[in-house]
A and B are shown apart, each in its own frame.
Chain A
Amino acid sequence: MSEKKEFWRWKEYRWHDEAMDWKQADIISAGVDIGSVSSQAAILLDGKLYAFSNQRTGFDSPQSAHQAINWAMEGTGLSLDNVHFAVGTGYGRVNVPFADKAITEIACHPRGGNFMYGPSVRTILDMGGQDCKAIRCDQRGKVEAFLMNDKCAAGTGRGMEVFADLLSISIEEVGQLSLSVKEEPEPVSSTCVVFAKSEASALLREGWPKNRVLAAYCSAMAHRVVTLLERIEVEKDFAITGGIAKNAGVVKRLERELGLEALQSKYDSQIAGALGGALFAQALETKRRRG
């Protein structure tokens, strides 16, 4: 498609806590989330977050899995041999060669969300690269209701990328730009990304500035997502994980329509899946050792 243009590309990065020493850890667990668009790896030492990485998924799940975990471990001296239990999650979870178990994102996200946002979180919205999940959970992060939409690009990162590409605006700036409008325009009438794109092209030809077109699209996306959330009945506290949490244009409009503020976390919103996987890994390793 538009592989040559870079407007859809967001920053890939890794991090680890220099103050922690993995050699002192009792249980080293890992979670790897292989999504259709991005992959993350999270490493925990006795349940505390030690390292993580976030990058675009390659053509091949096993290779992406290795890349994700190796990058997370970079500079730490850790290798896969030191990891006691690894969980694979995400679209490519059954293709993580070193995973001891594959667990769905539906189970992993609220577990990770509970860690990132605290035990008060009850409703999690995850908008990934090619899917949109709404999950209601209890105070331990156990799932009580869920839905996942991975059939339709509307309300997913890919849908947003199509617009970033159309308007030649980097995906990281899309949110803020959409909020720079003085007056909120009518949302685009088509939910379908293909038709919304035609609608947006027509609006641009009519002279609409880019920020207004973005506002119209973010508004439509937010509304669409709210209807999905309503299906599982929203209960506070509410949190957003996945790449879309970084899109202030959608987040603010969502909050407005829901009448709820999304909880903030010091952790990167995209690691909820991998983090949940690593937490499951830790619990499963603990269980295994008890015999």
Chain B
Amino acid sequence: MITAGIDIGAKTVKVVLAENGRILAKSLVPAGIDTAAATRQALDEALAAAGLTREKIEGFKATGTGRKDCPFADEEITEVGAAAKGMVHLLDSCRRVIDVGAEEGRTVRCDANGKVIDFAFNEKCAAGAGAFAEGMARALQVPLEELGPLSLTSEQAVQMNAQCAVFAESEVVTLIHAKTPRQDIARAVLDAVASRIISMVRKVGFEKDIALIGGMARNPGFVEGMRRGLETDVHVPQDPEYVGALGAALAAAE
């Protein structure tokens, strides 16, 4: 049975086509202004990559913040459900999934079947998710994708006092004026987000194996900050942004 999982996030739409637990194709499209159009585009791109037509898809399931607006999925799965399902499929020893996107962070406690036992959110505050890193990358005048690698060259931890993305931008400007090395600022920024995420992870407790997914998992500086803060290794799957969509596709096959 071929199924499609659609993850409509704040910034991007991801689609995964799966058959018998195997990924056939995946696609990622910026959500933009017209999310429905982006969703259709993402599905079309995934279908083209798999060499399939829409009729071949026997089940659709949507997840993500925009899942209610998915034009062709009649069923939904929560982000925590999708994250757990997708991640345990990729790593069966996984018991904690930390999903950090642009606007939200989630920690999920799950069992060996990918079923959700408990969860905690970081939401509605930009300081607790990827938006914080985005704002600071702007203030540092580096492209977002370079923020992580830059932070890894830091040799000194620097204190950031601001706990708000807006105030932190001013603080970064002040630090730059005080000649603080950019890599140290970058590291402080990513460590700050990591520490906020980890505080919420504590609510559901630590237990190996811990996986990190979502857009921020692509940021090596953030991943390093998470490892340092958790004092343990975290598993980052190959395509961390697609785990939610994968989980939705697997759920559609049940």
Decide if A and B touch, CB cutoff 8 A: yes
B164 contacts A by Cβ under 8 Å:
yes
Contacts of B126 in A (CB 8 A): 192-195
Question: Known contacts A59-B174, A152-B125, A205-B33: does B167 contact A194 (CB below 8 Å)?
Answer: no
A190 contacts B by Cβ under 8 Å:
yes
Instruction: State whether A193 touches B103 (Cβ < 8 A).
Output: no
Contacts of A158 in B (CB 8 A): 166-167, 170
B100 contacts A by Cβ under 8 Å:
no
B204 contacts A by Cβ under 8 Å:
no
Q: From A159, A190, A191, A194, give the contact of B135 (CB < 8 A).
A: A194
B54 contacts A by Cβ under 8 Å:
no
Contacts of A194 in B (CB 8 A): 126, 131, 135, 165-166
Instruction: State whether A151 touches B164 (Cβ < 8 A).
Output: yes
Q: From B124, B138, B139, B163, give the contact of A195 (CB < 8 A).
A: B124
A130 contacts B by Cβ under 8 Å:
yes
- A residues within 8 Å of B by Cβ? 1, 36, 59, 130, 151-153, 158-159, 162, 190-195, 202, 205
Contacts of A152 in B (CB 8 A): 125, 163-164
Q: From A1, A130, A162, A192, give the contact of B125 (CB < 8 A).
A: A192
Rounded to whole Å, the gap between the CB of B105 and the closest CB of chain A is 14
Instruction: State whether A1 touches B167 (Cβ < 8 A).
Output: no
**6 nearest interchain CB pairs?**
A153-B166, A194-B126, A151-B163, A194-B165, A153-B164, A193-B166
User: With A and B bound together, what is the CA distance between A195 and B11 in angstroms?
Assistant: 12
**A-facing residues in B143-183 (Cβ within 8 Å):** 163-167, 169-170, 173-174, 177
A192-B124, A195-B103 are known contacts; what are 16 more A-B pairs with Cβ within 8 Å?
A: A1-B139, A1-B170, A59-B177, A130-B167, A151-B163, A151-B164, A153-B166, A158-B166, A158-B167, A192-B165, A193-B164, A193-B165, A193-B166, A194-B135, A194-B165, A195-B124
Size bin of chain B's contact surface: 10 to 19
A contacts with B: majority SS: loop
User: With A and B bound together, what is the CA distance between A192 and B127 in angstroms?
Assistant: 9
Binary flags per residue of B121-134, CB closer than 8 Å to A gives 1, else 0: 00011100001000
Rounded to whole Å, the gap between the CB of B177 and the closest CB of chain A is 6
Closest B residue to A37 by CB, please name it. B170
Rounded to whole Å, the gap between the CB of B236 and the closest CB of chain A is 26
A-B contact pairs, 24 of them (CB 8 A): A1-B139, A1-B169, A151-B163, A152-B125, A152-B163, A152-B164, A153-B164, A158-B166, A158-B170, A159-B166, A190-B124, A191-B124, A192-B125, A192-B126, A192-B165, A193-B165, A194-B126, A194-B131, A194-B135, A194-B166, A195-B103, A195-B124, A195-B131, A205-B33
Rounded to whole Å, the gap between the CB of B141 and the closest CB of chain A is 11
Contacts of B174 in A (CB 8 A): 59
Rounded to whole Å, the gap between the CB of B195 and the closest CB of chain A is 15
User: With A and B bound together, what is the CA distance between A152 and B138 in angstroms?
Assistant: 19
Question: Known contacts A1-B173, A59-B174: does B131 contact A153 (CB below 8 Å)?
Answer: no
Closest B residue to A190 by CB, please name it. B124
Q: From B33, B139, B167, give the contact of A153 (CB < 8 A).
A: B167
Closest A residue to B169 by CB, please name it. A1
Closest B residue to A193 by CB, please name it. B166
Closest A residue to B134 by CB, please name it. A194
Rounded to whole Å, the gap between the CB of B138 and the closest CB of chain A is 8
Rounded to whole Å, the gap between the CB of B123 and the closest CB of chain A is 10
Contacts of A190 in B (CB 8 A): 124
